[in-house]
C-alpha cells in the first residue's frame, strides 16, 4: 500500500522506533520518515540477514529507508536490557541531539497453550519484555521528550488485549496491561507536554505479504515459538477464512495502515488526543 503522506508535517522531528527492521515497526519508521522525521531503527538480533554482504537487520532497514530519502540511522539493542536501553537513547542523541517521538513496538510471546500452564519464568519474560521494558525505555526518554516541547509516545498493543484467547491468555494480559500503562502515562506526563497513545492492530499482513498474528491455531505452535513472533503465518485456508469472517471489512490489514495511524497520532493534528487506543482491525468486534 502506498503512503498517503502528502506533506512533510513531521519535519525537524526525531523518532525512535523499537523492533523496527521489519513488519509493522519498519512500516512505522518509513511512514514517519516520509512525513519528514529523522528516524532511528533498532533490532535485538545480531544475526546476518545477507551472508554475502554480512549486513545486520538494522543495516538492511537503514539502507531501505535511505533509498526513500529518509534520514535514518540504526543499531542493535535489546530493550529488555537496561544497558541497551541507555545505549539506544544515547545513540539517538549522538546522531540527532534530540528526541521528539518514541514508538515502543517490541513484544514477545514465549508461551502458547492453556493459561494455567504458564510457568514463572514465562510470566517473568512476558512482563519484562512486553511491559516493564516499555516503561523503562519511556522513563529514559521522558527528559528528552519533555525538552522537545512536543513529545509523543506511541505503544503498539494488539486486539488480543481487548479479546483474550485461552491459547495466548498471558500475552493477552500483557497487551491489556500495556493499554493501562499508556493511559496512566498520559495522565502523568501531560504536565510535561508529552502525549501518550496506543494502537491495537488486528490481523495485519507483514512485509512478506504473509500474516502477522498473535491469534494462531494450536497446530502453528512450533512455528510461533521457533521463529520471530511477528512472522507467524496463516497458510491454512480454512483458518484464514475463519478469521476473515470476524472482520467486518473481510480483509486483512496492511502494516502501512498501522503506520499511518501512528503518524497521525504524533502529528500536531492530534494535539488534543492523549491516553487513547486506536484499534486498527477492519471492524473486528474487539473492545474493552
Do residues 32 and 260 lie in contact, with contact meaning Cβ atoms separated by under 8 Å?
Answer: no
List, by residue number, the catalytic residues.
Answer: 171
pLDDT at 54 over 70: no
Would you tell me how many other CB atoms lie within 10 Å of the CB of residue 180? 14
Which residues make Cβ contacts (< 8 Å) with residue 286, sequence separation at least 6?
159, 162, 163, 200, 202, 279
pLDDT band at 213 (very low <50, low <70, confident <90, very high): very low
Instruction: Give the per-residue pLDDT at 6.
Output: 62
Average pLDDT over residues 255-263: 94
pLDDT at 30 over 50: yes
Three cell numbers written together for 39 = 528516524
Instruction: Give the per-residue pLDDT at 196.
Output: 99
* Residue 105 Cα distances to 23, 41, 43, 95, 111, angstroms: 10, 11, 11, 21, 19
The number of CA neighbours under 13 Å toward the Cβ of 67 is: 6
Instruction: Give the per-residue pLDDT at 241.
Output: 79
Task: Encode pLDDT of 170-186 as tens digits.
Answer: 888 889 999 999 999 99
pLDDT band at 66 (very low <50, low <70, confident <90, very high): very high
Q: Which domains are delineated in the chain?
A: 14-280 (3.40.50.720)
Name the helix (H) or strand (E) containing 264: helix 255-265
DSSP, residue by residue, 91-113: HHHHHHS---EEEE--------B
Would you tell me how many other CB atoms lie within 10 Å of the CB of residue 11? 10
Look over the chain and give the mean of its residue pLDDT values, rounded to a whole number.
83
Q: Which residue did the predictor score with more confidence, 105 or 113? A: 105
Average pLDDT over residues 241-253: 76
Lowest-confidence region among 56-70, 77-91, 129-143, 228-242: 228-242
Task: Encode pLDDT of 229-240 as tens digits.
Answer: 334 445 567 767
Average pLDDT over residues 98-120: 87
pTM for the structure as a whole: 0.85
Whose CA is closest to 109, among 3, 232, 11, 244? 232
Instruction: Give the per-residue pLDDT at 171.
Output: 86
Task: Encode pLDDT of 153-166 as tens digits.
Answer: 999 998 877 777 67
Most confident of 56-60, 157-161, 205-209, 221-225: 157-161
Amino acid at each position: 500500500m502506498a503512503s498517503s503522506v502528502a506533506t512533510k508535517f513531521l519535519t525537524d522531528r526525531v523518532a525512535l522506533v523499537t523492533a523496527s527492521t521489519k513488519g509493522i515497526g519498519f512500516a512505522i519508521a518509513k511512514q514517519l520518515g516520509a512525513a519528514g522525521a529523522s528516524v532511528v531503527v533498532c533490532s535485538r538480533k545480531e544475526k546476518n540477514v545477507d551472508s554475502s554482504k554480512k549486513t545486520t537487520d538494522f543495516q538492511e532497514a537503514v539502507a531501505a529507508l535511505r533509498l526513500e530519502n529518509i534520514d535514518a540511522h540504526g543499531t542493535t539493542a535489546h530493550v529488555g536490557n537496561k544497558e541497551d536501553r541507555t545505549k539506544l537513547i544515547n545513540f539517538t542523541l549522538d546522531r540527532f541531539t534530540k528526541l521528539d517521538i518514541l514508538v515502543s513496538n517490541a513484544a514477545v510471546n514465549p508461551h502458547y497453550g492453556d493459561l494455567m500452564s504458564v510457568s514463572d519464568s514465562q510470566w517473568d519474560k512476558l512482563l519484562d519484555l512486553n511491559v516493564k521494558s516499555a516503561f523503562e525505555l519511556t522513563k529514559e526518554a521522558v527528559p528528552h521528550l519533555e525538552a522537545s516541547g512536543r513529545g509523543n509516545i506511541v505503544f503498539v498493543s494488539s486486539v488480543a488485549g481487548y479479546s483474550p484467547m485461552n491459547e495466548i491468555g498471558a500475552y493477552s494480559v500483557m497487551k491489556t496491561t500495556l493499554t493501562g500503562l499508556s493511559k496512566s502515562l498520559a495522565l502523568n506526563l501531560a504536565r510535561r507536554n508529552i502525549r501518550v497513545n496506543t494502537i491495537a492492530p488486528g490481523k495485519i499482513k507483514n512485509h512478506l505479504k504473509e500474516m502477522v498474528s498473535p491469534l494462531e491455531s494450536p497446530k502453528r505452535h512450533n512455528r510461533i515459538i521457533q521463529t520471530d513472533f511477528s512472522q507467524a503465518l496463516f497458510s491454512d485456508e480454512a483458518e484464514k477464512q475463519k478469521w476473515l469472517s470476524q472482520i467486518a471489512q473481510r480483509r486483512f490489514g496492511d502494516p502501512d495502515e498501522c503506520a499511518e495511524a501512528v503518524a497521525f497520532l504524533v502529528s500536531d493534528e492530534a494535539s488534543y488526543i492523549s491516553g487513547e487506543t486506536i484499534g486498527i482491525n477492519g471492524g473486528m468486534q474487539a473492545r474493552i
